[in-house]
Amino acid sequence: MPDIDPSLEKLIFNLNTLSELGTEITSANDFKRIVKSSLFMVMGSFSASKGVLYTYDSERLLFSPIASKGLTEPAGGLRLSATAMKGLAEHSRPIDLHSGESAVSLLGQASERLIRLGLKVVGFLVVRDELLGMIVISGNVGGEKYSNYDLQLLSVMAQNIAFSLQSHSLLKRLMQKYNENKELYENLRRIYYDTIHAFAAAIDAKDAYTKGHSHRVATYSAVVAKEMGWSDERIEGIRIAGLLHDIGKIAVDKTIINKPSGLNGHESVEINSHPIVGYEILSKIKFPWKGIPFMTRNHHEKIDGTGYPDRLAGDDIPQGARIVTLVDAFDAMTTDRPYRRRLSFVDAMSELKAHTSTQFDSDVVYSFVSVLKKEATGRAKSSTILPLLDEKLDTEKVSVFLKELF
């Protein structure tokens, strides 16, 4: 077998190293591991016993070592002037620290520091005229002078590493911007929800007997919607609708809302106008969820078409409104009102049963009952409805009662 020309053998080795370097740089490995592997590959290609890889820290305005090998003391940071950085980025080619090149003088005291560390050659990590870092290695163990070919090879390797640093830097900045935007979004979302809860509290404050009504309707609506297989986004929407379903009552005289006796014709017209007033208020708001204005407008409609304000029937009533209708009526029945004392849980459920398919949608009723059965038997991940009732209940008896009733 003929001997391989040493120069050809070196070329093949270097090509293999470049291939491995490219694979490592584009891999999904941990960034620090990629940097270390890249430094070790470069050092191996030139038989260098010492090496350090610096990246530019734009916050501290200096070059910080992120990987090193063979040094007898810490590499430490290097500070360069803006002029020096610009000049070295334009030069871009690797330099021998012991040469008389003008680029060495741009390094200033940094070159002296690198020489004291036993380092010899600097490769600049440049992308689009921006100096991102430096890779610095010692002379080779054989003491041979680095040739122009060696410096060209180092330049190619440095370019590959520079692209990796740029990608990492871009990703880091994107993640930072993402986190900033996420924090801003969360703050806005918090303000948004606080505003909605403030509206709900203002609505409930008009009725001395129904404190927390909007909150309970929102909670009940969400759990029923989940039982019916709604998506998380739609569930969040109906929760907001529950909080705001009575917003139209802001325009109704407080004495009418709290009147302990029956309402006359004018008073009935005014109280019955609140779904339309609520719709007019909410339809002007661009909610991120669909259907909230109509869930508000139609939460007093009945399946048989005898409700108000539009006398819709059956499936013409939005499903969300049918859910809010049921839980709104249930909460009204199980809390004290100006004109009557609250009903017991048993009586309220009997009323729901009696008006299923006339006032209430049967699918919604049975989903509501399904939630109650799970809560009563301990099969629910967390109880939502029963704990909010102003009544101590024996869950075992509740389970038996619901099974018999439905």
254 or 347: which leads in pLDDT:
347
Q: In what order do the strands lie in the sheet with 62-69?
A: 62-69, 51-57, 130-137, 121-127, 95-96
Under the banding of pLDDT at 50, 70 and 90, the label for residue 305 is very high
Angle between helix 319-333 and 362-377 (nearest 10): 60
Residue 241 contacts residue 196 (beta carbons within 8 Å): no
CA nearest to 335, candidates 226, 215, 201: 215
Please report the pLDDT score of residue 5 as a whole number. 42
pLDDT above 70 for 195: yes
Domains, the chain, with CATH or none: 6-176 (3.30.450.40), 206-405 (1.10.3210.10)
Residue 235 contacts residue 314 (beta carbons within 8 Å): no
pLDDT above 50 for 1: no
pLDDT above 70 for 10: no
Token duo for residue 288: 């991120």
pLDDT above 70 for 4: no
pTM confidence score = 0.62
56 or 315: which leads in pLDDT:
315
The whole-chain average pLDDT of the chain stands at: 85
**Cβ atoms < 10 Å from Cβ of 22:** 14
Residues 64-116: pLDDT tens digits? 898 889 988 888 898 988 888 889 888 878 988 988 788 888 888 889 899 99
Q: How far is CA 74 from CA 44, 176, 203, 308, in A?
A: 21, 29, 67, 80
Query: What is the rounded distance in angstroms from the CA atom of residue 337 to the CA atom of residue 347?
Result: 16
State mean pLDDT over 187-192. Answer: 82
Angle between helix 319-333 and 232-244 (nearest 10): 50
pLDDT above 70 for 313: yes
Residues 231-287: pLDDT tens digits? 999 999 999 999 999 999 888 888 887 787 788 888 888 888 999 999 999 999 888
